[in-house]
Structure 1
């Protein structure tokens, strides 16, 4: 009886916490379908009196949100694919390949984790300016091609791959690239999904770096475009909420679709690392 009561109390608290966490998102979705100025009433309405798609039509027809949506997809997808390739190769190398300075280089990378990202933005911008990549998609993509956290995540997971498996492949005559793509990558699948989600979310939600490197309005991503739109329509809460929904829904759907693999990757990584 006491066990059932405790379980019921815990479930009730979890449900209440879930409702409390989702309430702002649900109200944001509701406001996005309200008429202009309706959300400014007191007390604020929970549901639209007359639901309308006017705010979404305004976003895509006049504010050019479709262009920014494509920009964000392009940048986030390229960052994700390139970071998967480079982080996976580097993480595997640090885990299983022997080369001079391996441990020292890896410790130096870990030490760099304590340096705030904002500190490196100025030298990174000057470097990309010298390379002619400012105000280009490449300028927004290149800094996300490899991340210390991604290398560390893959390395910890790759350490669990049996050395005997790799040696057997080498005895059979397989080269290192063939071993990597045909033997190692299938084993790393759970952690690759986790890394892909982290990379995509990070690139999709990034505001500061695209703001710095992309001054051309046609190249701007959704977070930057939404911030600019908020300055022009500071009193239009309904339009801003519609823009927020457009920004959140794609990554939310991605997370829900890959949730099982994401959790599996985290759990296996924590056990094997």
Structure 2
């Protein structure tokens, strides 16, 4: 399963999944149809699945045109988004599975940005879940060394989504699920917000050397016009304040006493940044 990043609108990304063996494709959160149609034509691939994370227009904007062009395409989304995603046929809940190519993805229910948001996680082919939030590596056989997380607007590189329909408690619980995934997980988030996110992060976590180094790298990348997505979950755990609400230094920085209060104050500060 190859993943292609497709820029759209002003600062969106969405993602084409390609099975080169069977020459079929899936798409995650098609903001618009045209960039995807161009790439499908280049690949000569047939679109068979649309995986939506939530109902916002910059994530579903291409659905209708794609359904017209590919009438057999299957449209997936969260069960709580019923009636809000064009063409939705599959209504997913926490723990459900989706399959594309030779990979099986796990569905996470991650409300906060919206009340119905879901994420799709395709673990490395050499990993298996052993219970709870623990994964172990299986050696031998056909393996793929990285996991792929398609998290919409829940987790960003260096940040997280605004709370439009959810609460701080919901978002902390949602981000906790994603934070528990292995470090070797690529984070395919839906916007090019990284530089601004890290600028904010430095205001509350300025003594973090990993964050300082990451900011310099991202600043250079953006000057070159390079995308900063995907990120790595291991990097996010060390540099993203919205995954570090339980760190005493961050709690002190925002004058909070517990993770939920810390997150809520961070999110409020970022909203005004």
Could you state the TM-score of these two structures normalised by the residue count of structure 2? 0.22
- Specify the structure having the higher radius of gyration (Cα): 1
Could you state the TM-score of these two structures normalised by the residue count of structure 1? 0.22
